[in-house]
Amino acid sequence: MKKIILLLAIIFPVLLFAQSSRDINTVIQKTIDLHALKKHFSESEMSGETPLIILNDDKIPNNLIVFKFNKRVKIMTPAQLETFKSIYKGSLDSYFVFEIMKFEDDVVTIKATFRKTDKIAINVSMKKQDRNWLVTESSAG
């Protein structure tokens, strides 16, 4: 019984303060949809000819589903990206790396990059109001 209570005492606070996959999914979707980022997409990316990719790490949930230009964004680990590069004939420079995704209460700060060469720095701050994430500050470039 003591072990169960101890286990609940440890797990319950972690679950209470952990961000939901839905929150993470929403803030990532809003980040890749930033108006400031719009001018940086190439014609081949907008047409869906060149796939958009998010590099998966410990900040990205495995069940992440986001879309850009009516196409699903691919989620890949660095190893999967290397394998995909050996198969894919076109350029695979079109990927996002979410370096910092810091949640504090109802505020999130995101620092990310887009592209491997000619990196585009992305900085976003969002605030959660009534279950909706609103962009309060953003820049890309």
DSSP string, 1-27: -HHHHHHHHHHHHHHHHSPPHHHHHHH
Range of lowest pLDDT (21-25, 88-92, 110-114): 88-92
pTM for this one? 0.81
Closest CA to 64 of 105, 27, 115, 110: 27
- What mean pLDDT is predicted for residues 1-23? 54
- For 24-82, the pLDDT digits (tens) are 999 999 999 999 999 999 999 999 999 999 998 877 887 899 999 999 999 999 899 98
